[in-house]
Every structure is written in C-alpha cells, then in structure tokens.
Chain A
Amino acid sequence: GENVEQHPSTLSVQEGDSAVIKCTYSDSASNYFPWYKQELGKGPQLIIDIRSNVGEKKDQRIAVTLNKTAKHFSLHITETQPEDSAVYFCAASKPTSGQNFVFGPGTRLSVLP
C-alpha cells in the first residue's frame, strides 16, 4: 500500500523567513496531494492541494510543488508569521474504490517572533 514520508519532523524559523516541508510517496497511482494545517485542539484544515496533472500551485504565501517522476511534493510558506505555527500534514490519495487518504507523520512548525 501507499506510504507517505515527511521531513523534517520539526522546523523552527524566524518570522518573515520561508519554510519548506517535503513529502515522498510510494504509490505511482496516487494522483491527489492535499496539505493540512492542524492547530492545537482542532481538526486538520485544508490549506492547499495539487493534482497530478499540475506541477505547481500557489495561493498567496503558500505554494506546493509536485515531482511525479521522483514521487515527491513540497509545501513552501513564504513570509512566515507567528500564526503559521502549527503541525502540517501532507497526504496522498488515488481514485480507486475503497481507497482513502494516507497521511504523513507531520511537521511541527514554529515561527519565532
């Protein structure tokens, strides 16, 4: 089955700097890759997603890149702010019956003021 790895497990950056989180997946049939942000006491919230027919997607300070050949995708956050501090999860899914999302282990991002 699908296996998603995520690095780093923890990341500390200064406010205003950029943060990059990387994920790799094992199943070449996976075609949809969302990123979730989870704050303390809350459920994961979708922040951006990318489909396998696209190499890059950007939404204001957040961008995601996908390399299908290497089977890895990355989250880029620019001009980080203290409210970006949270745990971030990548995930992968494929359109087969009964299949659902496989999540990475998470990255705890701390933005230091």
Chain B
Amino acid sequence: DAGVTQSPTHLIKTRGQHVTLRCSPISGHKSVSWYQQVLGQGPQFIFQYYEKEERGRGNFPDRFSARQFPNYSSELNVNALLLGDSALYLCASTQGFPGGNSPLHFGNGTRLTVT
C-alpha cells in the first residue's frame, strides 16, 4: 500500500508570493493533518481535517489555509509568503479521528524555501 504522498518535494518561492502544497493520505484514512517543521525543531501543528471539515487549527496566522476534498486528499495554502515560512511542511493521515489513540502516519514533506 502507498503511504502518504506529498507534492511537490521541493519548492522555492519569493516573499509575497502564494504557495499550494498537496497531500494524498493512506488509502482508507479519512483524517489529514498538516505540520510545519522548522530546521532543528519538532513538527508544529497547523491544521487538522476530518471528513472534509476543519477540526483543529494551530497557532498560525490567517495567511495559512487548507481544505480537504471528497477523496480525502488535502491542500495547504500559504499567502503573502514571509522568509520565516521556510520550512518542511509535513502531511500526516490517520485512520480515525486524531488526538485519541490513532498514530499519525507522515509523508516525506515538502521543503519550502522563501527567498
């Protein structure tokens, strides 16, 4: 079975631009979460979607938005990019509603560099 897939793997953008990152969860998983991992730090929670509805939001500005599609894939959008948005963006899926006893299964991430 395919794991969580993310695209693109790498991306270079300029300050002020907009970016869209994509994620396909493991087949059968209905929940998708997005995390930001700055170099040298642990992943930080951005969004959680379950059954196409937002179920959780971390401490990120409104420039960050996401959505989940009927096939459970997801997009993360970031507007008005700042240098500080440079990071590895991780998508994770889980079989049940996360936050309980269901582990997150991560993709390999999208490395975003903002210049």
Where the two chains meet, the residues of A that have a C-beta atom closer than 8 Å to any C-beta of B are 4, 6, 31-32, 34, 36, 41-46, 49, 51, 89, 91, 93-106
| Complex contacts, A32 vs chain B, CB 8 Å | 100-101
Q: B104 contacts which of A31, A46, A98 (Cβ < 8 Å)? A: A46
Nearest-CB residue, chain A, relative to B55:
A98
Nearest-CB residue, chain B, relative to A36:
B106
Asked if A103 and B99 sit within 8 Å, CB to CB, the answer is no
Q: A104 contacts which of B42, B48, B105, B109 (Cβ < 8 Å)? A: B42
Asked if B90 and A43 sit within 8 Å, CB to CB, the answer is yes
Most buried by B among A4, A44, A45: A44
Asked if A98 and B108 sit within 8 Å, CB to CB, the answer is no
Nearest-CB residue, chain B, relative to A102:
B45
Q: What's the Cα separation between A6 and B43 when bound, in Å?
A: 13
Asked if A99 and B104 sit within 8 Å, CB to CB, the answer is no
Q: Give the interface size bracket for B toward A.
A: 20 to 34
The 28 listed contacts between A and B (C-beta, < 8 Å) are A4-B42, A31-B101, A32-B100, A32-B101, A34-B103, A34-B104, A36-B106, A41-B108, A43-B92, A43-B107, A43-B108, A44-B90, A46-B103, A46-B105, A51-B101, A91-B42, A93-B100, A95-B101, A97-B56, A98-B48, A98-B56, A100-B33, A100-B48, A101-B33, A101-B98, A101-B99, A106-B41, A106-B42
Nearest-CB residue, chain B, relative to A94:
B99
Nearest-CB residue, chain B, relative to A89:
B42
Where the two chains meet, the residues of B that have a C-beta atom closer than 8 Å to any C-beta of A are 4, 33, 40-45, 48, 55-58, 90, 92, 98-101, 103-109
Q: What's the Cα separation between A49 and B58 when bound, in Å?
A: 23
Q: B99 contacts which of A41, A42, A95 (Cβ < 8 Å)? A: A95
Nearest-CB residue, chain A, relative to B44:
A103
Asked if B55 and A43 sit within 8 Å, CB to CB, the answer is no
Asked if A100 and B42 sit within 8 Å, CB to CB, the answer is no
Most buried by B among A41, A94, A99, A100: A100
Question: Chain A nearest CB: distance from B66 CB in Å?
Answer: 13
Q: What's the Cα separation between A98 and B98 when bound, in Å?
A: 9
| Complex contacts, B44 vs chain A, CB 8 Å | 103
Nearest-CB residue, chain B, relative to A44:
B106
